[in-house]
A and B are shown apart, each in its own frame.
Chain A
Protein backbone atom coordinates (compact mmCIF):
# COMPACT_ATOMS: atom_id res chain seq x y z
CA UNK A 1 0.00 0.00 0.00
CA UNK A 2 1.46 3.35 -0.95
CA UNK A 3 0.69 6.88 0.17
CA UNK A 4 -1.33 7.56 -2.92
CA UNK A 5 -3.84 4.71 -2.82
CA UNK A 6 -6.76 7.01 -1.93
CA UNK A 7 -5.81 9.41 -4.67
CA UNK A 8 -5.52 6.57 -7.19
CA UNK A 9 -9.00 5.40 -6.20
CA UNK A 10 -10.39 8.89 -6.72
CA UNK A 11 -8.68 9.18 -10.09
CA UNK A 12 -10.12 5.85 -11.24
CA UNK A 13 -13.59 7.08 -10.33
CA UNK A 14 -13.10 9.97 -12.74
CA UNK A 15 -14.47 8.67 -16.04
CA UNK A 16 -13.26 9.86 -19.43
CA UNK A 17 -15.97 11.35 -21.62
CA UNK A 18 -17.46 8.94 -24.12
CA UNK A 19 -16.36 9.52 -27.71
CA UNK A 20 -18.99 10.30 -30.31
CA UNK A 21 -21.14 7.50 -31.70
CA UNK A 22 -19.84 8.29 -35.15
CA UNK A 23 -16.34 7.21 -34.23
CA UNK A 24 -17.18 3.50 -34.04
CA UNK A 25 -19.13 3.75 -37.30
CA UNK A 26 -16.18 5.23 -39.14
CA UNK A 27 -13.82 2.66 -37.69
CA UNK A 28 -16.17 -0.07 -38.85
CA UNK A 29 -16.38 1.45 -42.30
CA UNK A 30 -12.60 1.72 -42.53
CA UNK A 31 -12.10 -1.84 -41.32
CA UNK A 32 -14.67 -3.31 -43.66
CA UNK A 33 -13.54 -1.32 -46.67
CA UNK A 34 -12.98 -3.79 -49.49
CA UNK A 35 -9.97 -2.00 -50.92
CA UNK A 36 -7.00 -2.03 -48.64
CA UNK A 37 -5.24 1.29 -48.69
CA UNK A 38 -1.66 0.14 -48.18
CA UNK A 39 -1.50 1.81 -44.81
CA UNK A 40 -3.08 5.05 -45.96
CA UNK A 41 -6.47 5.25 -44.38
CA UNK A 42 -9.54 7.12 -45.46
CA UNK A 43 -10.10 9.88 -42.95
CA UNK A 44 -13.24 10.03 -40.90
CA UNK A 45 -15.75 12.36 -42.43
CA UNK A 46 -16.40 14.56 -39.46
CA UNK A 47 -19.76 16.24 -39.31
CA UNK A 48 -18.35 19.66 -38.76
CA UNK A 49 -20.62 22.58 -39.39
CA UNK A 50 -20.62 23.73 -42.99
CA UNK A 51 -19.68 27.38 -42.56
CA UNK A 52 -19.41 27.94 -46.28
CA UNK A 53 -23.06 27.02 -46.78
CA UNK A 54 -24.05 29.23 -43.87
CA UNK A 55 -22.06 32.15 -45.27
CA UNK A 56 -23.47 31.66 -48.72
CA UNK A 57 -26.96 31.46 -47.25
CA UNK A 58 -26.49 34.66 -45.26
CA UNK A 59 -25.13 36.47 -48.30
CA UNK A 60 -28.01 35.27 -50.47
CA UNK A 61 -30.56 36.24 -47.83
CA UNK A 62 -29.00 39.70 -47.50
CA UNK A 63 -29.03 40.23 -51.25
CA UNK A 64 -32.62 39.01 -51.50
CA UNK A 65 -33.68 41.31 -48.67
CA UNK A 66 -32.08 44.30 -50.33
CA UNK A 67 -33.67 43.45 -53.64
CA UNK A 68 -37.12 43.05 -52.14
CA UNK A 69 -36.86 45.95 -49.74
CA UNK A 70 -35.81 48.50 -52.32
CA UNK A 71 -39.11 48.67 -54.24
CA UNK A 72 -40.93 49.21 -50.96
CA UNK A 73 -38.72 52.18 -50.17
CA UNK A 74 -38.85 53.63 -53.65
CA UNK A 75 -42.53 52.99 -54.25
CA UNK A 76 -44.58 56.25 -54.27
CA UNK A 77 -47.30 56.40 -51.70
CA UNK A 78 -50.79 55.63 -52.94
CA UNK A 79 -52.87 58.71 -53.63
CA UNK A 80 -55.25 59.49 -50.77
CA UNK A 81 -58.81 60.60 -51.47
CA UNK A 82 -58.95 64.34 -51.11
CA UNK A 83 -61.83 66.38 -49.84
CA UNK A 84 -60.48 69.63 -51.02
CA UNK A 85 -57.63 70.33 -53.25
CA UNK A 86 -55.32 73.23 -53.15
CA UNK A 87 -52.39 74.13 -55.22
CA UNK A 88 -49.27 73.19 -53.42
CA UNK A 89 -46.03 74.97 -53.85
CA UNK A 90 -43.02 72.80 -54.67
CA UNK A 91 -41.72 73.28 -51.14
CA UNK A 92 -44.81 71.66 -49.69
CA UNK A 93 -44.48 68.48 -51.69
CA UNK A 94 -43.51 65.38 -49.78
CA UNK A 95 -39.78 64.81 -50.32
CA UNK A 96 -39.02 61.61 -52.14
CA UNK A 97 -36.75 59.22 -50.28
CA UNK A 98 -33.30 58.93 -51.79
CA UNK A 99 -32.92 56.03 -54.15
CA UNK A 100 -30.93 53.30 -52.46
CA UNK A 101 -28.37 51.84 -54.80
CA UNK A 102 -26.12 49.30 -53.15
CA UNK A 103 -23.55 48.09 -55.56
CA UNK A 104 -20.91 45.39 -55.03
CA UNK A 105 -17.83 47.06 -53.67
CA UNK A 106 -15.36 44.31 -53.00
CA UNK A 107 -14.59 40.70 -52.23
CA UNK A 108 -11.68 39.65 -50.03
CA UNK A 109 -10.48 36.19 -49.16
CA UNK A 110 -7.91 35.68 -46.44
CA UNK A 111 -6.43 32.19 -46.18
CA UNK A 112 -5.42 31.60 -42.60
CA UNK A 113 -4.55 27.93 -42.65
CA UNK A 114 -3.65 25.19 -45.08
CA UNK A 115 -2.94 21.57 -44.34
CA UNK A 116 -1.62 18.75 -46.47
CA UNK A 117 -3.54 15.71 -45.26
CA UNK A 118 -1.56 13.21 -47.30
CA UNK A 119 -2.71 10.58 -49.72
CA UNK A 120 -6.25 9.25 -49.71
CA UNK A 121 -8.31 6.93 -51.88
CA UNK A 122 -11.63 8.73 -52.33
CA UNK A 123 -14.57 6.57 -53.27
CA UNK A 124 -12.46 3.40 -53.34
CA UNK A 125 -10.53 4.65 -56.36
CA UNK A 126 -7.35 2.84 -57.13
CA UNK A 127 -5.39 5.98 -57.83
CA UNK A 128 -4.29 7.86 -54.72
CA UNK A 129 -5.00 11.55 -54.43
CA UNK A 130 -3.36 14.17 -52.26
CA UNK A 131 -5.84 16.03 -50.08
CA UNK A 132 -5.18 19.69 -49.27
CA UNK A 133 -7.42 21.53 -46.85
CA UNK A 134 -7.54 25.34 -46.75
CA UNK A 135 -9.40 27.47 -44.23
CA UNK A 136 -10.15 31.06 -45.08
CA UNK A 137 -12.37 34.01 -44.31
CA UNK A 138 -14.35 35.59 -47.15
CA UNK A 139 -15.85 39.06 -46.98
CA UNK A 140 -18.35 40.48 -49.46
CA UNK A 141 -19.10 44.21 -49.37
CA UNK A 142 -21.71 46.42 -50.99
CA UNK A 143 -21.73 50.23 -50.87
CA UNK A 144 -24.30 52.91 -51.50
CA UNK A 145 -22.46 55.69 -53.28
CA UNK A 146 -25.13 58.28 -52.55
CA UNK A 147 -25.19 57.84 -48.77
CA UNK A 148 -21.86 56.14 -48.14
CA UNK A 149 -23.63 53.29 -46.34
CA UNK A 150 -22.15 49.87 -46.75
CA UNK A 151 -23.16 46.30 -46.09
CA UNK A 152 -20.56 43.70 -45.30
CA UNK A 153 -21.00 39.95 -44.93
CA UNK A 154 -18.10 37.87 -43.66
CA UNK A 155 -17.97 34.14 -43.17
CA UNK A 156 -15.39 31.38 -42.70
CA UNK A 157 -14.91 28.85 -45.45
CA UNK A 158 -13.17 25.53 -45.75
CA UNK A 159 -12.04 24.07 -49.05
CA UNK A 160 -10.80 20.58 -49.67
CA UNK A 161 -8.82 19.98 -52.86
CA UNK A 162 -8.01 16.54 -54.19
CA UNK A 163 -5.00 16.41 -56.49
CA UNK A 164 -4.18 13.19 -58.36
CA UNK A 165 -0.87 11.86 -57.08
CA UNK A 166 0.74 10.92 -60.36
CA UNK A 167 4.19 9.40 -60.40
CA UNK A 168 4.64 9.26 -56.64
Chain B
Protein backbone atom coordinates (compact mmCIF):
# COMPACT_ATOMS: atom_id res chain seq x y z
CA UNK B 1 0.00 0.00 0.00
CA UNK B 2 1.23 3.47 -0.88
CA UNK B 3 1.99 5.93 1.86
CA UNK B 4 -1.00 8.31 1.78
CA UNK B 5 1.07 11.23 3.00
CA UNK B 6 3.62 10.80 0.22
CA UNK B 7 0.90 10.37 -2.34
CA UNK B 8 -0.79 13.49 -1.14
CA UNK B 9 2.41 15.51 -1.11
CA UNK B 10 3.08 14.36 -4.66
CA UNK B 11 -0.45 15.23 -5.59
CA UNK B 12 -0.08 18.69 -4.13
CA UNK B 13 2.86 19.22 -6.43
CA UNK B 14 1.16 18.00 -9.57
CA UNK B 15 -2.30 19.18 -8.64
CA UNK B 16 -3.69 15.84 -9.61
CA UNK B 17 -6.66 15.49 -7.35
CA UNK B 18 -7.70 12.13 -8.77
CA UNK B 19 -4.79 10.20 -7.29
CA UNK B 20 -5.24 11.98 -4.01
CA UNK B 21 -8.96 11.34 -3.93
CA UNK B 22 -8.67 7.67 -4.88
CA UNK B 23 -6.25 7.17 -2.03
CA UNK B 24 -8.09 9.18 0.56
CA UNK B 25 -11.74 8.50 -0.29
CA UNK B 26 -12.22 5.13 1.49
CA UNK B 27 -10.85 6.53 4.73
CA UNK B 28 -12.83 9.74 4.39
CA UNK B 29 -16.08 7.89 3.72
CA UNK B 30 -15.33 5.61 6.66
CA UNK B 31 -14.85 8.70 8.82
CA UNK B 32 -18.08 10.28 7.54
CA UNK B 33 -20.05 7.07 8.13
CA UNK B 34 -19.64 7.61 11.85
CA UNK B 35 -22.03 10.53 11.71
CA UNK B 36 -24.72 9.41 9.27
CA UNK B 37 -26.59 6.17 8.84
CA UNK B 38 -26.60 6.06 5.08
CA UNK B 39 -23.60 5.34 2.88
CA UNK B 40 -25.01 7.71 0.26
CA UNK B 41 -25.17 10.53 2.80
CA UNK B 42 -21.57 9.80 3.80
CA UNK B 43 -20.48 10.05 0.17
CA UNK B 44 -22.38 13.32 -0.22
CA UNK B 45 -20.50 14.69 2.77
CA UNK B 46 -17.13 13.56 1.44
CA UNK B 47 -17.85 15.01 -1.99
CA UNK B 48 -18.77 18.40 -0.61
CA UNK B 49 -15.89 18.45 1.85
CA UNK B 50 -13.28 17.41 -0.69
CA UNK B 51 -14.42 19.83 -3.38
CA UNK B 52 -14.64 22.71 -0.93
CA UNK B 53 -11.22 21.82 0.48
CA UNK B 54 -9.55 21.41 -2.88
CA UNK B 55 -10.90 24.68 -4.26
CA UNK B 56 -9.61 26.56 -1.27
CA UNK B 57 -6.30 24.81 -0.76
CA UNK B 58 -5.11 23.32 -4.06
CA UNK B 59 -2.86 21.37 -1.75
CA UNK B 60 -3.19 18.66 0.84
CA UNK B 61 -0.48 19.85 3.17
CA UNK B 62 -3.03 20.33 5.91
CA UNK B 63 -4.97 17.10 5.97
CA UNK B 64 -6.51 17.98 9.32
CA UNK B 65 -8.44 20.69 7.52
CA UNK B 66 -9.95 18.11 5.17
CA UNK B 67 -11.17 15.99 8.08
CA UNK B 68 -12.44 19.10 9.85
CA UNK B 69 -14.46 19.89 6.73
CA UNK B 70 -15.95 16.39 6.68
CA UNK B 71 -16.87 16.62 10.36
CA UNK B 72 -18.32 20.10 10.01
CA UNK B 73 -20.46 19.23 6.98
CA UNK B 74 -21.65 16.03 8.67
CA UNK B 75 -22.77 17.98 11.72
CA UNK B 76 -24.47 20.56 9.51
CA UNK B 77 -26.36 17.75 7.84
CA UNK B 78 -27.42 16.35 11.19
CA UNK B 79 -28.62 19.75 12.33
CA UNK B 80 -30.64 20.26 9.16
CA UNK B 81 -32.32 16.92 9.62
CA UNK B 82 -35.74 17.74 11.01
CA UNK B 83 -35.94 14.52 12.97
CA UNK B 84 -32.83 15.48 14.86
CA UNK B 85 -33.52 19.18 15.17
CA UNK B 86 -34.98 18.72 18.62
CA UNK B 87 -31.74 17.10 19.69
CA UNK B 88 -29.44 19.66 18.18
CA UNK B 89 -27.75 20.35 21.47
CA UNK B 90 -26.66 16.75 21.82
CA UNK B 91 -25.58 16.15 18.28
CA UNK B 92 -22.30 14.61 19.34
CA UNK B 93 -24.02 12.23 21.71
CA UNK B 94 -26.37 11.30 18.91
CA UNK B 95 -23.38 10.17 16.89
CA UNK B 96 -23.06 7.36 19.41
CA UNK B 97 -25.98 5.70 17.68
CA UNK B 98 -24.88 6.34 14.14
CA UNK B 99 -23.79 3.63 11.80
CA UNK B 100 -20.59 1.83 12.41
CA UNK B 101 -17.63 2.08 10.10
CA UNK B 102 -17.98 -0.22 7.16
CA UNK B 103 -15.26 -2.70 6.31
CA UNK B 104 -14.57 -5.43 3.81
CA UNK B 105 -14.22 -8.37 6.16
CA UNK B 106 -13.04 -11.75 4.97
CA UNK B 107 -12.61 -13.77 8.16
CA UNK B 108 -14.53 -14.33 11.39
CA UNK B 109 -11.75 -12.58 13.26
CA UNK B 110 -12.11 -9.50 11.09
CA UNK B 111 -15.87 -9.51 11.51
CA UNK B 112 -15.45 -9.69 15.27
CA UNK B 113 -12.96 -6.84 15.11
CA UNK B 114 -15.31 -4.73 12.99
CA UNK B 115 -18.14 -5.35 15.47
CA UNK B 116 -15.86 -4.40 18.34
CA UNK B 117 -14.95 -1.14 16.59
CA UNK B 118 -18.66 -0.52 16.10
CA UNK B 119 -19.25 -0.78 19.84
CA UNK B 120 -16.66 1.80 20.78
CA UNK B 121 -17.84 5.16 22.14
CA UNK B 122 -18.00 7.73 19.32
CA UNK B 123 -15.22 9.91 20.71
CA UNK B 124 -12.84 6.94 20.80
CA UNK B 125 -13.96 5.55 17.47
CA UNK B 126 -13.37 8.75 15.52
CA UNK B 127 -9.84 8.99 16.89
CA UNK B 128 -9.22 5.37 15.97
CA UNK B 129 -10.57 5.86 12.44
CA UNK B 130 -8.39 8.90 11.85
CA UNK B 131 -5.30 7.22 13.28
CA UNK B 132 -5.50 3.69 11.89
CA UNK B 133 -7.21 4.08 8.53
CA UNK B 134 -6.22 7.64 7.68
CA UNK B 135 -2.82 7.80 9.36
CA UNK B 136 -3.23 11.24 10.86
CA UNK B 137 -0.86 12.28 13.60
CA UNK B 138 -2.19 12.90 17.10
CA UNK B 139 -1.48 16.58 16.53
CA UNK B 140 -3.70 16.53 13.42
CA UNK B 141 -6.40 14.57 15.24
CA UNK B 142 -6.31 17.04 18.09
CA UNK B 143 -6.68 19.86 15.59
CA UNK B 144 -9.69 18.23 13.94
CA UNK B 145 -11.47 17.57 17.23
CA UNK B 146 -10.40 20.72 19.02
CA UNK B 147 -8.63 18.78 21.76
CA UNK B 148 -5.02 18.50 22.81
CA UNK B 149 -2.61 16.09 21.24
CA UNK B 150 -2.32 14.24 24.56
CA UNK B 151 -6.09 13.86 24.85
CA UNK B 152 -6.21 12.44 21.33
CA UNK B 153 -3.48 9.96 22.18
CA UNK B 154 -5.26 9.07 25.40
CA UNK B 155 -8.55 8.39 23.59
CA UNK B 156 -6.66 6.22 21.13
CA UNK B 157 -5.17 4.13 23.92
CA UNK B 158 -8.59 3.81 25.58
CA UNK B 159 -10.02 2.65 22.26
CA UNK B 160 -7.34 -0.02 21.82
CA UNK B 161 -7.80 -1.13 25.41
CA UNK B 162 -11.55 -1.42 24.97
CA UNK B 163 -11.11 -3.38 21.75
CA UNK B 164 -8.67 -5.78 23.35
CA UNK B 165 -10.96 -6.30 26.33
CA UNK B 166 -13.95 -6.86 24.05
CA UNK B 167 -12.12 -9.38 21.86
CA UNK B 168 -10.62 -11.23 24.83
CA UNK B 169 -14.02 -11.59 26.49
CA UNK B 170 -15.44 -13.23 23.35
CA UNK B 171 -12.61 -15.74 22.96
Contacts and interface: CB of A to CB of B under 8 A. Distances in A.
Interface string B99-125: 001111100011001100100000000
Interface residues of A, number: 35
A26 interface: yes
B51 A14 contact: no
Instruction: Give the interface size bracket for B toward A.
Output: 35 or more
A11 B29 contact: no
Contact of B40 (A13, A15, A30, A46): A46
A79 interface: no
Interface stretch (B41-49, B60-68, B86-94, B144-152): B41-49
Which of A10, A19, A113, A117 has the largest number of chain B CB atoms within 10 A? A19
The dominant DSSP class at the B interface is helix
B160 interface: yes
A10 B103 CA distance: 13
B127 interface: no
B80 A115 contact: yes
B113 A14 contact: yes
B132 A23 contact: no
A118 B44 CA distance: 14
B43 A44 contact: yes
A145 interface: no
Contact of A46 (B44, B55, B161, B164): B44
The dominant DSSP class at the A interface is mixed
Contacts of B22: 24
Interface stretch (A35-43, A95-103, A136-144): A35-43
19 contacts: A4-B161, A4-B164, A7-B164, A12-B133, A15-B26, A16-B30, A16-B103, A16-B104, A16-B133, A17-B29, A17-B102, A19-B39, A23-B29, A41-B51, A43-B44, A46-B40, A48-B40, A113-B83, A116-B80
- Top 7 A-B pairs, shortest CB-CB distance: A16-B30, A16-B26, A4-B160, A30-B51, A17-B102, A19-B29, A11-B132
Interface of B: 17-18, 21-22, 25-27, 29-30, 39-40, 43-44, 46-48, 50-52, 54-55, 80-83, 101-105, 109-110, 113-114, 117, 128, 132-133, 157, 160-161, 163-164, 167
